Structure 1
Amino acid sequence: MTYKTILAILDTPQNARQISDFGVAVASQFSAHLIGCHAETLSAMPLIAPMEIPDPAAIQVLQEVAQKETAEVKRVFELHAEGKGVPTEWRSFLSAAGYSSNPFMESARAADLIIASQSDPSHSDHRADLETFLFDSGRPLLLVPHAMTQLQPIRRVMIAWNGSREAARATFDSLPFLQAAESVEILVVDPPERSNQTYLPAGAEIANSLSRHGVNASVTNHESSGGSPAAVIEARLSGKDVDLLVMGGYGHSRWWEMIFGGVTRNILDSMTALTLLSR
Protein backbone atom coordinates (compact mmCIF):
# COMPACT_ATOMS: atom_id res chain seq x y z
CA MET A 1 0.00 0.00 0.00
CA THR A 2 1.11 3.54 -0.72
CA TYR A 3 -0.33 6.97 -1.43
CA LYS A 4 -0.62 7.76 -5.14
CA THR A 5 -3.25 10.54 -5.17
CA ILE A 6 -2.91 13.28 -2.57
CA LEU A 7 -5.43 16.10 -2.17
CA ALA A 8 -4.09 19.27 -0.56
CA ILE A 9 -6.82 21.54 0.80
CA LEU A 10 -5.69 25.12 0.32
CA ASP A 11 -8.20 26.77 2.56
CA THR A 12 -6.93 30.35 2.68
CA PRO A 13 -4.01 32.43 1.40
CA GLN A 14 -2.62 32.22 4.95
CA ASN A 15 -2.18 28.44 4.88
CA ALA A 16 -1.74 27.92 1.12
CA ARG A 17 2.05 28.10 1.34
CA GLN A 18 2.25 25.73 4.31
CA ILE A 19 -0.04 23.08 2.86
CA SER A 20 1.49 23.38 -0.62
CA ASP A 21 4.94 22.68 0.83
CA PHE A 22 3.67 19.78 2.94
CA GLY A 23 1.75 18.36 -0.01
CA VAL A 24 4.77 18.53 -2.30
CA ALA A 25 6.99 16.87 0.33
CA VAL A 26 4.61 13.97 0.95
CA ALA A 27 3.87 13.54 -2.76
CA SER A 28 7.60 13.44 -3.45
CA GLN A 29 8.15 10.83 -0.73
CA PHE A 30 5.55 8.47 -2.20
CA SER A 31 5.89 9.43 -5.91
CA ALA A 32 2.28 10.59 -5.85
CA HIS A 33 0.09 12.89 -7.91
CA LEU A 34 -0.72 16.08 -5.99
CA ILE A 35 -4.01 17.95 -6.41
CA GLY A 36 -4.31 21.45 -5.00
CA CYS A 37 -7.93 22.21 -4.18
CA HIS A 38 -9.76 25.35 -3.08
CA ALA A 39 -13.44 25.95 -2.40
CA GLU A 40 -14.65 29.43 -3.28
CA THR A 41 -17.77 29.79 -1.16
CA LEU A 42 -20.58 32.01 -2.32
CA SER A 43 -21.17 34.82 0.17
CA ALA A 44 -24.51 35.54 1.77
CA MET A 45 -26.55 37.90 -0.35
CA PRO A 46 -26.63 41.47 1.01
CA LEU A 47 -30.06 43.12 1.08
CA ILE A 48 -31.14 46.72 0.75
CA ALA A 49 -33.52 47.86 3.52
CA PRO A 50 -36.40 48.44 3.78
CA MET A 51 -37.38 46.62 0.57
CA GLU A 52 -34.97 43.72 1.24
CA ILE A 53 -33.83 43.32 -2.33
CA PRO A 54 -30.35 42.18 -3.35
CA ASP A 55 -27.68 44.87 -3.51
CA PRO A 56 -25.93 44.28 -6.89
CA ALA A 57 -22.95 46.47 -6.04
CA ALA A 58 -22.25 44.66 -2.78
CA ILE A 59 -22.65 41.26 -4.45
CA GLN A 60 -20.13 42.21 -7.12
CA VAL A 61 -17.60 43.35 -4.53
CA LEU A 62 -17.94 40.09 -2.59
CA GLN A 63 -17.53 38.04 -5.75
CA GLU A 64 -14.43 39.97 -6.75
CA VAL A 65 -12.88 39.44 -3.30
CA ALA A 66 -13.56 35.69 -3.48
CA GLN A 67 -12.15 35.43 -7.00
CA LYS A 68 -9.05 37.35 -5.96
CA GLU A 69 -8.48 34.96 -3.05
CA THR A 70 -8.84 31.93 -5.35
CA ALA A 71 -6.34 33.40 -7.81
CA GLU A 72 -3.85 34.08 -5.00
CA VAL A 73 -4.19 30.57 -3.57
CA LYS A 74 -3.63 29.08 -7.03
CA ARG A 75 -0.57 31.28 -7.57
CA VAL A 76 0.97 30.16 -4.27
CA PHE A 77 0.31 26.49 -4.99
CA GLU A 78 1.83 26.60 -8.47
CA LEU A 79 4.81 28.62 -7.25
CA HIS A 80 5.68 26.17 -4.47
CA ALA A 81 5.14 23.09 -6.63
CA GLU A 82 7.14 24.37 -9.59
CA GLY A 83 10.36 22.53 -10.31
CA LYS A 84 9.88 19.96 -7.54
CA GLY A 85 9.42 16.99 -9.89
CA VAL A 86 5.92 16.27 -8.57
CA PRO A 87 2.98 15.90 -10.98
CA THR A 88 0.38 18.44 -9.91
CA GLU A 89 -3.13 19.53 -10.73
CA TRP A 90 -5.22 22.53 -9.70
CA ARG A 91 -8.95 22.45 -8.93
CA SER A 92 -11.27 25.13 -7.59
CA PHE A 93 -14.99 24.94 -6.92
CA LEU A 94 -17.61 27.65 -6.58
CA SER A 95 -20.44 26.54 -4.33
CA ALA A 96 -22.72 27.78 -1.60
CA ALA A 97 -21.91 24.53 0.24
CA GLY A 98 -18.16 25.18 0.24
CA TYR A 99 -16.19 22.10 1.29
CA SER A 100 -19.35 20.05 1.58
CA SER A 101 -20.26 20.49 -2.09
CA ASN A 102 -20.72 17.33 -4.15
CA PRO A 103 -17.95 18.06 -6.70
CA PHE A 104 -15.47 18.73 -3.90
CA MET A 105 -16.50 15.54 -2.09
CA GLU A 106 -16.02 13.54 -5.30
CA SER A 107 -12.41 14.75 -5.48
CA ALA A 108 -11.83 14.03 -1.80
CA ARG A 109 -13.24 10.52 -1.87
CA ALA A 110 -11.07 9.61 -4.87
CA ALA A 111 -7.85 10.53 -3.04
CA ASP A 112 -5.58 8.18 -1.09
CA LEU A 113 -4.72 10.90 1.42
CA ILE A 114 -5.98 14.39 2.22
CA ILE A 115 -3.71 17.04 3.69
CA ALA A 116 -5.24 20.04 5.44
CA SER A 117 -4.26 22.68 7.95
CA GLN A 118 -5.32 22.68 11.57
CA SER A 119 -8.14 25.13 12.06
CA ASP A 120 -6.99 28.53 13.27
CA PRO A 121 -10.00 30.39 14.71
CA SER A 122 -7.86 33.49 15.25
CA HIS A 123 -8.16 34.21 11.53
CA SER A 124 -11.28 36.09 10.54
CA ASP A 125 -11.56 34.01 7.35
CA HIS A 126 -11.43 30.69 9.20
CA ARG A 127 -13.72 28.22 7.40
CA ALA A 128 -16.39 27.06 9.83
CA ASP A 129 -17.41 24.13 7.60
CA LEU A 130 -13.96 22.60 7.14
CA GLU A 131 -14.21 20.09 9.99
CA THR A 132 -17.55 18.82 8.67
CA PHE A 133 -15.94 18.20 5.29
CA LEU A 134 -12.94 16.45 6.80
CA PHE A 135 -14.99 13.91 8.71
CA ASP A 136 -17.45 13.29 5.87
CA SER A 137 -14.82 12.52 3.24
CA GLY A 138 -14.23 8.90 4.24
CA ARG A 139 -10.50 9.25 3.53
CA PRO A 140 -7.45 9.44 5.82
CA LEU A 141 -6.67 13.00 6.78
CA LEU A 142 -3.23 14.34 7.61
CA LEU A 143 -3.77 17.50 9.64
CA VAL A 144 -0.91 19.97 9.99
CA PRO A 145 -0.63 22.24 13.06
CA HIS A 146 -0.96 25.83 11.88
CA ALA A 147 2.14 26.79 13.89
CA MET A 148 4.29 24.21 12.07
CA THR A 149 6.21 25.87 9.24
CA GLN A 150 8.46 23.07 8.01
CA LEU A 151 7.82 19.37 7.52
CA GLN A 152 10.35 17.20 9.30
CA PRO A 153 10.86 13.53 8.39
CA ILE A 154 8.27 11.36 10.12
CA ARG A 155 10.54 9.09 12.15
CA ARG A 156 8.53 8.58 15.35
CA VAL A 157 4.86 7.60 15.19
CA MET A 158 2.42 7.04 18.03
CA ILE A 159 -0.87 5.17 17.51
CA ALA A 160 -3.66 5.94 19.99
CA TRP A 161 -5.21 2.48 20.14
CA ASN A 162 -8.51 1.54 21.78
CA GLY A 163 -9.45 -1.45 19.66
CA SER A 164 -12.27 0.36 17.87
CA ARG A 165 -13.18 0.21 14.20
CA GLU A 166 -12.02 3.81 13.77
CA ALA A 167 -8.66 3.13 15.38
CA ALA A 168 -8.15 0.10 13.14
CA ARG A 169 -9.05 2.14 10.06
CA ALA A 170 -6.60 4.91 10.99
CA THR A 171 -3.82 2.42 11.73
CA PHE A 172 -4.02 0.65 8.39
CA ASP A 173 -4.64 3.92 6.50
CA SER A 174 -1.32 5.14 7.92
CA LEU A 175 0.69 2.09 6.81
CA PRO A 176 2.92 3.99 4.34
CA PHE A 177 4.04 6.30 7.16
CA LEU A 178 4.40 3.41 9.62
CA GLN A 179 6.55 1.40 7.22
CA ALA A 180 8.87 4.37 6.65
CA ALA A 181 9.13 5.29 10.36
CA GLU A 182 12.06 4.43 12.61
CA SER A 183 9.86 3.76 15.65
CA VAL A 184 6.15 3.11 16.19
CA GLU A 185 4.50 3.06 19.60
CA ILE A 186 1.00 1.69 20.18
CA LEU A 187 -0.42 3.53 23.18
CA VAL A 188 -3.33 1.95 25.03
CA VAL A 189 -4.85 4.11 27.76
CA ASP A 190 -6.71 2.28 30.54
CA PRO A 191 -6.62 -1.13 28.84
CA PRO A 192 -9.71 -3.24 29.54
CA GLU A 193 -9.51 -6.35 31.65
CA ARG A 194 -8.79 -9.39 29.50
CA SER A 195 -11.04 -12.44 29.60
CA ASN A 196 -9.70 -15.95 30.06
CA GLN A 197 -10.24 -16.57 26.33
CA THR A 198 -8.02 -13.63 25.38
CA TYR A 199 -4.39 -14.69 25.49
CA LEU A 200 -2.78 -11.46 24.23
CA PRO A 201 -2.50 -8.20 26.19
CA ALA A 202 -4.20 -5.09 24.82
CA GLY A 203 -2.47 -3.80 21.70
CA ALA A 204 -0.41 -6.96 21.12
CA GLU A 205 -2.54 -8.34 18.32
CA ILE A 206 -2.44 -5.16 16.22
CA ALA A 207 1.32 -5.00 16.83
CA ASN A 208 1.69 -8.56 15.51
CA SER A 209 -0.39 -7.70 12.47
CA LEU A 210 1.72 -4.62 11.73
CA SER A 211 4.89 -6.67 12.04
CA ARG A 212 3.76 -8.70 9.03
CA HIS A 213 3.79 -5.44 7.09
CA GLY A 214 7.36 -4.76 8.14
CA VAL A 215 6.43 -2.40 10.99
CA ASN A 216 8.33 -2.95 14.25
CA ALA A 217 5.90 -1.54 16.81
CA SER A 218 6.10 -1.50 20.60
CA VAL A 219 3.09 -1.51 22.90
CA THR A 220 2.62 0.75 25.92
CA ASN A 221 -0.28 0.25 28.32
CA HIS A 222 -0.88 3.33 30.45
CA GLU A 223 -3.29 3.97 33.30
CA SER A 224 -4.84 7.41 33.43
CA SER A 225 -5.15 7.17 37.24
CA GLY A 226 -8.38 9.12 37.29
CA GLY A 227 -7.28 11.63 34.68
CA SER A 228 -8.43 11.84 31.09
CA PRO A 229 -7.08 9.78 28.18
CA ALA A 230 -6.49 13.10 26.42
CA ALA A 231 -4.05 14.19 29.12
CA VAL A 232 -2.13 10.92 28.79
CA ILE A 233 -1.89 11.27 25.02
CA GLU A 234 -0.77 14.90 25.25
CA ALA A 235 1.89 14.02 27.83
CA ARG A 236 3.24 11.23 25.63
CA LEU A 237 3.31 13.54 22.63
CA SER A 238 5.30 16.22 24.42
CA GLY A 239 7.56 13.82 26.28
CA LYS A 240 8.51 11.53 23.40
CA ASP A 241 8.94 14.10 20.63
CA VAL A 242 6.42 12.31 18.39
CA ASP A 243 6.36 13.33 14.74
CA LEU A 244 2.95 11.81 13.89
CA LEU A 245 -0.09 10.86 15.95
CA VAL A 246 -2.43 8.27 14.41
CA MET A 247 -5.93 7.91 15.77
CA GLY A 248 -9.53 7.32 14.77
CA GLY A 249 -12.05 10.07 14.20
CA TYR A 250 -14.77 8.89 16.51
CA GLY A 251 -17.74 11.10 15.71
CA HIS A 252 -19.97 11.08 18.76
CA SER A 253 -18.81 7.82 20.30
CA ARG A 254 -18.04 7.58 24.00
CA TRP A 255 -14.28 7.48 23.32
CA TRP A 256 -14.45 10.68 21.31
CA GLU A 257 -16.46 12.33 24.07
CA MET A 258 -13.86 11.23 26.66
CA ILE A 259 -10.92 12.62 24.72
CA PHE A 260 -12.29 15.70 23.05
CA GLY A 261 -15.37 16.71 24.99
CA GLY A 262 -17.57 16.06 21.99
CA VAL A 263 -16.34 19.11 20.08
CA THR A 264 -14.33 18.41 16.93
CA ARG A 265 -12.85 21.90 16.88
CA ASN A 266 -11.20 21.32 20.26
CA ILE A 267 -8.88 18.63 18.92
CA LEU A 268 -7.84 20.82 15.99
CA ASP A 269 -7.19 23.80 18.25
CA SER A 270 -4.91 21.81 20.59
CA MET A 271 -2.79 19.93 18.04
CA THR A 272 0.96 19.85 18.65
CA ALA A 273 2.02 17.18 16.12
CA LEU A 274 1.02 16.02 12.69
CA THR A 275 -2.16 13.99 13.17
CA LEU A 276 -3.59 11.36 10.85
CA LEU A 277 -7.29 10.74 11.40
CA SER A 278 -9.59 8.19 9.78
CA ARG A 279 -13.21 7.39 10.30
Structure 2
Amino acid sequence: MSYRSIVVHLDTGERAHPRLELALRMAKQFGAHLTGMFSVFVPDRRSFYVMAGSAEYYSSQEKLRTERRAAIERLFHAELGRAKVSGEWVVTDECANLAVPRRGRTADLIIASQDDPEDPEAYVGDHFPENLLMSTGRPVLMVPYVGTFPLLGSNVMVAWDGSREATRAAHDALPFMQHAKKTTVVTVNGTKDTPAGRPAPGSDIAAVIARHGVKVEVINIDSSTGVSTGDALRNHASKLGADLIVMGAYGHARWQELVMGGVTRDTLKSMTVPVLMSH
Protein backbone atom coordinates (compact mmCIF):
# COMPACT_ATOMS: atom_id res chain seq x y z
CA MET A 1 0.00 0.00 0.00
CA SER A 2 1.27 3.46 -0.89
CA TYR A 3 0.21 6.91 -1.97
CA ARG A 4 0.52 7.01 -5.77
CA SER A 5 -1.52 10.17 -6.39
CA ILE A 6 -1.16 13.27 -4.20
CA VAL A 7 -3.03 16.57 -4.55
CA VAL A 8 -1.63 19.66 -2.83
CA HIS A 9 -3.79 22.78 -2.54
CA LEU A 10 -1.88 25.93 -3.43
CA ASP A 11 -2.84 29.59 -3.13
CA THR A 12 -1.15 32.99 -2.86
CA GLY A 13 -0.68 32.76 0.91
CA GLU A 14 2.65 32.90 2.71
CA ARG A 15 2.61 29.17 3.46
CA ALA A 16 2.05 28.01 -0.12
CA HIS A 17 5.76 27.52 -0.84
CA PRO A 18 6.54 25.51 2.35
CA ARG A 19 3.42 23.42 1.69
CA LEU A 20 4.62 22.71 -1.84
CA GLU A 21 8.06 21.69 -0.56
CA LEU A 22 6.46 19.28 1.89
CA ALA A 23 4.23 17.83 -0.85
CA LEU A 24 7.25 17.32 -3.09
CA ARG A 25 9.04 15.41 -0.33
CA MET A 26 5.99 13.20 0.13
CA ALA A 27 5.68 12.58 -3.63
CA LYS A 28 9.38 11.72 -3.81
CA GLN A 29 9.17 9.39 -0.81
CA PHE A 30 6.15 7.46 -2.07
CA GLY A 31 6.86 7.63 -5.80
CA ALA A 32 3.61 9.55 -6.31
CA HIS A 33 2.24 11.74 -9.08
CA LEU A 34 1.77 15.25 -7.65
CA THR A 35 -1.05 17.55 -8.70
CA GLY A 36 -0.72 21.21 -7.78
CA MET A 37 -4.30 22.44 -7.39
CA PHE A 38 -4.32 26.25 -7.48
CA SER A 39 -7.51 27.69 -6.06
CA VAL A 40 -8.02 31.05 -4.36
CA PHE A 41 -10.93 33.15 -3.22
CA VAL A 42 -12.25 35.27 -6.10
CA PRO A 43 -14.82 37.90 -5.07
CA ASP A 44 -17.81 38.59 -7.28
CA ARG A 45 -16.78 41.32 -9.74
CA ARG A 46 -20.28 42.83 -9.67
CA SER A 47 -19.95 43.75 -5.99
CA PHE A 48 -17.13 46.18 -6.83
CA TYR A 49 -19.22 48.41 -9.03
CA VAL A 50 -21.27 49.79 -6.16
CA MET A 51 -18.74 52.25 -4.74
CA ALA A 52 -16.68 54.78 -6.67
CA GLY A 53 -13.15 53.58 -7.33
CA SER A 54 -13.83 50.00 -6.29
CA ALA A 55 -13.80 48.71 -9.89
CA GLU A 56 -10.22 49.97 -10.29
CA TYR A 57 -9.31 48.30 -7.01
CA TYR A 58 -10.75 45.00 -8.25
CA SER A 59 -8.78 45.23 -11.50
CA SER A 60 -5.51 45.92 -9.67
CA GLN A 61 -6.11 43.03 -7.30
CA GLU A 62 -6.97 40.73 -10.19
CA LYS A 63 -3.70 41.66 -11.92
CA LEU A 64 -1.74 41.07 -8.71
CA ARG A 65 -3.46 37.70 -8.23
CA THR A 66 -2.57 36.69 -11.79
CA GLU A 67 1.07 37.62 -11.25
CA ARG A 68 1.25 35.62 -8.03
CA ARG A 69 -0.39 32.62 -9.68
CA ALA A 70 2.17 32.74 -12.50
CA ALA A 71 5.00 32.93 -9.97
CA ILE A 72 3.89 29.88 -8.00
CA GLU A 73 3.20 27.98 -11.23
CA ARG A 74 6.79 28.60 -12.36
CA LEU A 75 7.99 27.50 -8.95
CA PHE A 76 5.85 24.34 -9.10
CA HIS A 77 7.28 23.23 -12.45
CA ALA A 78 10.84 24.12 -11.45
CA GLU A 79 10.59 22.17 -8.19
CA LEU A 80 9.02 19.18 -9.97
CA GLY A 81 11.99 19.04 -12.31
CA ARG A 82 14.51 19.45 -9.50
CA ALA A 83 12.90 16.67 -7.44
CA LYS A 84 12.36 14.48 -10.53
CA VAL A 85 8.71 13.97 -9.60
CA SER A 86 5.91 13.54 -12.12
CA GLY A 87 3.07 15.99 -11.79
CA GLU A 88 0.62 18.44 -13.26
CA TRP A 89 -0.61 21.96 -12.61
CA VAL A 90 -4.36 22.61 -12.36
CA VAL A 91 -6.03 26.02 -12.07
CA THR A 92 -9.67 26.69 -11.36
CA ASP A 93 -11.77 29.82 -10.94
CA GLU A 94 -14.50 27.76 -9.30
CA CYS A 95 -15.18 28.04 -5.57
CA ALA A 96 -12.42 26.21 -3.69
CA ASN A 97 -14.92 24.47 -1.43
CA LEU A 98 -16.27 22.72 -4.54
CA ALA A 99 -13.25 22.41 -6.83
CA VAL A 100 -10.60 21.12 -4.41
CA PRO A 101 -12.72 18.30 -2.90
CA ARG A 102 -13.80 17.21 -6.38
CA ARG A 103 -10.18 16.94 -7.51
CA GLY A 104 -9.15 15.39 -4.22
CA ARG A 105 -11.55 12.49 -4.60
CA THR A 106 -9.30 11.08 -7.32
CA ALA A 107 -6.20 11.17 -5.09
CA ASP A 108 -4.73 8.85 -2.46
CA LEU A 109 -3.77 11.80 -0.25
CA ILE A 110 -4.62 15.49 -0.10
CA ILE A 111 -2.29 18.08 1.42
CA ALA A 112 -3.80 21.34 2.64
CA SER A 113 -3.19 23.99 5.29
CA GLN A 114 -4.69 24.94 8.58
CA ASP A 115 -6.54 28.26 8.43
CA ASP A 116 -4.21 31.20 9.01
CA PRO A 117 -6.17 34.09 10.57
CA GLU A 118 -3.21 36.46 10.10
CA ASP A 119 -2.86 35.96 6.33
CA PRO A 120 -5.80 37.24 4.23
CA GLU A 121 -4.26 35.69 1.09
CA ALA A 122 -4.65 32.25 2.67
CA TYR A 123 -8.43 32.63 2.85
CA VAL A 124 -10.05 30.62 0.02
CA GLY A 125 -13.53 30.06 1.45
CA ASP A 126 -15.52 29.72 4.65
CA HIS A 127 -14.54 26.65 6.69
CA PHE A 128 -12.34 25.35 3.88
CA PRO A 129 -10.38 22.74 5.95
CA GLU A 130 -13.56 21.43 7.57
CA ASN A 131 -15.37 21.20 4.25
CA LEU A 132 -12.41 19.40 2.67
CA LEU A 133 -12.39 16.80 5.44
CA MET A 134 -16.13 16.22 5.41
CA SER A 135 -16.75 16.15 1.66
CA THR A 136 -13.73 14.53 0.02
CA GLY A 137 -13.75 10.96 1.32
CA ARG A 138 -9.94 10.83 1.21
CA PRO A 139 -7.28 11.32 3.90
CA VAL A 140 -6.20 14.92 4.31
CA LEU A 141 -2.79 15.92 5.63
CA MET A 142 -3.35 19.23 7.40
CA VAL A 143 -0.20 21.34 7.76
CA PRO A 144 0.01 23.96 10.55
CA TYR A 145 0.48 27.55 9.43
CA VAL A 146 3.23 27.98 12.01
CA GLY A 147 6.47 25.99 12.08
CA THR A 148 8.72 24.03 9.75
CA PHE A 149 8.58 20.26 9.37
CA PRO A 150 11.77 18.85 7.84
CA LEU A 151 10.85 15.41 9.16
CA LEU A 152 7.33 14.10 8.69
CA GLY A 153 6.19 10.58 9.43
CA SER A 154 9.31 9.26 11.15
CA ASN A 155 7.56 9.28 14.55
CA VAL A 156 3.79 8.72 14.22
CA MET A 157 1.17 9.00 16.94
CA VAL A 158 -2.23 7.42 16.24
CA ALA A 159 -5.14 8.77 18.31
CA TRP A 160 -7.43 5.78 18.85
CA ASP A 161 -10.95 5.58 20.27
CA GLY A 162 -12.33 2.62 18.32
CA SER A 163 -14.65 4.73 16.15
CA ARG A 164 -15.31 4.43 12.43
CA GLU A 165 -13.43 7.66 11.77
CA ALA A 166 -10.39 6.56 13.80
CA THR A 167 -10.40 3.20 11.98
CA ARG A 168 -10.44 4.94 8.63
CA ALA A 169 -7.58 7.25 9.64
CA ALA A 170 -5.41 4.43 10.98
CA HIS A 171 -5.72 2.46 7.74
CA ASP A 172 -5.30 5.55 5.56
CA ALA A 173 -2.03 6.35 7.35
CA LEU A 174 -0.44 2.92 6.86
CA PRO A 175 1.99 4.16 4.17
CA PHE A 176 3.39 6.68 6.64
CA MET A 177 3.61 4.09 9.41
CA GLN A 178 5.39 1.60 7.14
CA HIS A 179 8.13 4.19 6.62
CA ALA A 180 8.19 5.36 10.26
CA LYS A 181 10.89 4.58 12.78
CA LYS A 182 8.33 4.62 15.57
CA THR A 183 4.52 4.36 15.77
CA THR A 184 2.51 4.78 18.96
CA VAL A 185 -1.21 4.11 19.36
CA VAL A 186 -2.56 6.41 22.07
CA THR A 187 -5.89 6.15 23.86
CA VAL A 188 -7.25 8.73 26.30
CA ASN A 189 -8.91 7.44 29.48
CA GLY A 190 -9.26 4.11 27.71
CA THR A 191 -8.74 1.93 30.77
CA LYS A 192 -11.48 3.46 32.91
CA ASP A 193 -14.36 1.50 31.38
CA THR A 194 -12.43 -1.62 30.34
CA PRO A 195 -13.62 -4.77 32.16
CA ALA A 196 -10.98 -6.85 33.93
CA GLY A 197 -9.44 -9.48 31.69
CA ARG A 198 -10.16 -7.59 28.49
CA PRO A 199 -7.28 -6.60 26.15
CA ALA A 200 -5.91 -3.11 26.70
CA PRO A 201 -7.64 -0.42 24.61
CA GLY A 202 -5.79 0.07 21.34
CA SER A 203 -4.15 -3.35 21.34
CA ASP A 204 -6.57 -4.61 18.68
CA ILE A 205 -5.75 -1.93 16.11
CA ALA A 206 -2.06 -2.14 17.06
CA ALA A 207 -2.10 -5.83 16.15
CA VAL A 208 -3.63 -5.01 12.75
CA ILE A 209 -1.03 -2.28 12.14
CA ALA A 210 1.80 -4.61 13.17
CA ARG A 211 0.77 -7.14 10.52
CA HIS A 212 1.72 -4.54 7.93
CA GLY A 213 5.32 -4.65 9.13
CA VAL A 214 5.01 -1.67 11.47
CA LYS A 215 6.75 -1.59 14.84
CA VAL A 216 4.03 -0.25 17.12
CA GLU A 217 3.35 0.22 20.82
CA VAL A 218 0.24 1.16 22.77
CA ILE A 219 -0.06 3.80 25.48
CA ASN A 220 -3.11 4.91 27.47
CA ILE A 221 -3.06 8.37 28.98
CA ASP A 222 -5.37 9.54 31.74
CA SER A 223 -6.60 13.04 31.07
CA SER A 224 -6.71 15.04 34.26
CA THR A 225 -9.74 17.10 35.21
CA GLY A 226 -9.98 20.28 33.20
CA VAL A 227 -7.72 19.07 30.37
CA SER A 228 -9.52 18.48 27.09
CA THR A 229 -8.90 15.37 25.03
CA GLY A 230 -7.42 17.52 22.29
CA ASP A 231 -4.95 19.13 24.71
CA ALA A 232 -4.09 15.74 26.20
CA LEU A 233 -3.29 14.35 22.74
CA ARG A 234 -1.17 17.34 21.74
CA ASN A 235 0.71 17.28 25.05
CA HIS A 236 1.49 13.60 24.64
CA ALA A 237 2.50 14.06 21.01
CA SER A 238 5.03 16.62 22.24
CA LYS A 239 6.24 14.22 24.93
CA LEU A 240 6.71 11.47 22.35
CA GLY A 241 8.41 13.82 19.91
CA ALA A 242 5.82 12.84 17.29
CA ASP A 243 6.10 14.59 13.93
CA LEU A 244 2.74 13.32 12.65
CA ILE A 245 -0.60 12.80 14.39
CA VAL A 246 -3.20 10.47 12.88
CA MET A 247 -6.81 10.85 13.94
CA GLY A 248 -10.40 10.59 12.79
CA ALA A 249 -12.30 13.72 11.82
CA TYR A 250 -15.75 13.99 13.38
CA GLY A 251 -18.54 16.16 12.08
CA HIS A 252 -21.80 16.35 10.21
CA ALA A 253 -23.92 18.80 8.28
CA ARG A 254 -26.85 20.36 10.13
CA TRP A 255 -28.98 22.19 7.60
CA GLN A 256 -26.42 24.52 5.99
CA GLU A 257 -23.96 24.47 8.88
CA LEU A 258 -20.94 22.25 9.41
CA VAL A 259 -20.88 20.94 12.97
CA MET A 260 -17.48 19.57 13.95
CA GLY A 261 -16.69 17.31 16.88
CA GLY A 262 -14.90 18.92 19.82
CA VAL A 263 -11.51 17.24 19.36
CA THR A 264 -11.58 17.79 15.59
CA ARG A 265 -12.50 21.46 15.97
CA ASP A 266 -9.86 21.92 18.66
CA THR A 267 -7.16 20.22 16.59
CA LEU A 268 -7.88 22.24 13.46
CA LYS A 269 -7.56 25.40 15.54
CA SER A 270 -4.50 24.51 17.61
CA MET A 271 -2.38 21.96 15.73
CA THR A 272 1.35 22.03 16.38
CA VAL A 273 2.50 19.28 13.98
CA PRO A 274 0.95 17.99 10.74
CA VAL A 275 -2.18 15.92 11.29
CA LEU A 276 -3.50 13.24 8.94
CA MET A 277 -7.27 13.22 9.31
CA SER A 278 -9.95 10.99 7.77
CA HIS A 279 -13.72 11.11 7.98
TM range (shorter): 0.7 to 0.9
Corresponding residue of 1:122: 118
Secondary structure of 2:178's aligned partner: helix
Q: 1:235, 1:77 → 2: CA distance?
A: 35
Deviation at 1:58, TM superposition (A): 4.5
Matched residue type, 1:94: D
Q: Deviations over 1:172-210 (max 9, x none)?
A: 0000001111111111001152357x8322111101111
Unaligned runs of 5+ in 2: 254-259
Aligned residues: 266
Corresponding residue of 2:21: 21
Q: 1:24, 1:35 → 2: CA distance?
A: 10
Q: Deviations over 1:118-138 (max 9, x none)?
A: 221111223143224422211
Corresponding residue of 1:69: 68
TM-align CA RMSD: 2.4
Q: Deviations over 1:43-95 (max 9, x none)?
A: 13213359xxx965444334323322322221222232222110011001002
Secondary structure of 2:167's aligned partner: helix
Superposed counterparts of 1:241-256, under 5 Å: 241-251=241-251
Superposed counterparts of 1:36-55, under 5 Å: 36-44=36-44, 45-48=47-50
Q: 1:258, 1:106 → 2: CA distance?
A: 26
Superposed counterparts of 1:206-225, under 5 Å: 206-225=205-224
Unaligned runs of 5+ in 1: none
Q: 2:194, 2:34 → 1: CA distance?
A: 44
Is 1:181 aligned to residue 159 of structure 2?
A: no
Matched residue type, 2:246: V
Matched residue type, 1:131: P
Secondary structure of 2:93's aligned partner: strand
Q: 1:195, 1:108 → 2: CA distance?
A: 42
2:139, 2:278 within 8 Å by CA — same for their partners in 1? yes
Secondary structure of 2:68's aligned partner: helix
Q: What is the TM-score when the length of structure 1 is the normalising length?
A: 0.86
Secondary structure of 2:120's aligned partner: coil
Matched residue type, 2:113: S
1:188, 1:203 within 8 Å by CA — same for their partners in 2? yes
2:11, 2:121 within 8 Å by CA — same for their partners in 1? no
Secondary structure of 1:82's aligned partner: helix
Superposed counterparts of 1:116-155, under 5 Å: 116-127=112-123, 128-129=125-126, 130-135=128-133, 136-155=135-154
Change (3 A) 1:47 1:162: same
Q: 1:182, 1:104 → 2: CA distance?
A: 32
Corresponding residue of 2:6: 6
Secondary structure of 2:27's aligned partner: helix
1:100, 1:132 within 8 Å by CA — same for their partners in 2? no
Change (3 A) 1:195 1:92: same
Change (3 A) 1:137 1:257: closer
Corresponding residue of 1:105: 101
Deviation at 1:148, TM superposition (A): 2.8
Corresponding residue of 1:199: 198
Q: Deviations over 1:129-168 (max 9, x none)?
A: 3224422211111122223334215221111111111101
- Percent of aligned positions that are identical: 32
Q: What is the TM-score when the length of structure 2 is the normalising length?
A: 0.86
Secondary structure of 2:110's aligned partner: strand
Single out whichever of 33-42 and 142-151 deviates more from structure 2: 142-151
